């Protein structure tokens, strides 16, 4: 069993993620590349003291970037977990917001 702080890297705070949080009680996190659904579920439950209903995982491909004229660079690939919380549970990233 890995430490929950190693599995969850950071929350994803975008307009789409905040809309999903308000409408459907879904919270989005960036997780380590080899994390599975069970590890993510246990990590979120232990870190935030909530009950998780479902976890969806998406592999996100890094974008291509042009650097220094014609030289092509690339952002790294990463993994995103969309966690659906059970009814009555909430995770607040900004207090009072």
Residue range 24-40, pLDDT digits in tens:
999 999 999 999 999 99
pLDDT score, position 96 = 59
pLDDT score, position 73 = 86
Could you report the per-residue pLDDT of 51-88, keeping only the tens digit for each? 999 999 999 999 988 777 777 888 999 999 999 999 99
Structure-block tokens of residue 65: 């970037």
Taken in order of first residue, the domains within the chain and their CATH numbers are 4-85 (3.30.70.330)
pTM above 0.85, yes or no: yes
Contact 29, 44 (CB under 8 A): yes
């Amino acid at each position: 069993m890995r430490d929950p702080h190693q599995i969850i890297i950071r929350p994803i705070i975008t307009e789409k993620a905040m809309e999903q949080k308000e409408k459907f009680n879904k919270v989005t996190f960036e997780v380590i590349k080899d994390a599975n659904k069970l590890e993510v579920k246990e990590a979120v439950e232990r870190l935030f003291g909530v009950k998780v209903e479902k976890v969806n995982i998406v592999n996100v491909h890094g974008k291509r970037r042009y650097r220094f004229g014609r030289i092509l660079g690339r952002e790294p690939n990463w993994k995103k977990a969309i966690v659906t919380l059970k009814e009555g549970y909430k995770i607040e990233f900004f207090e009072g917001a």
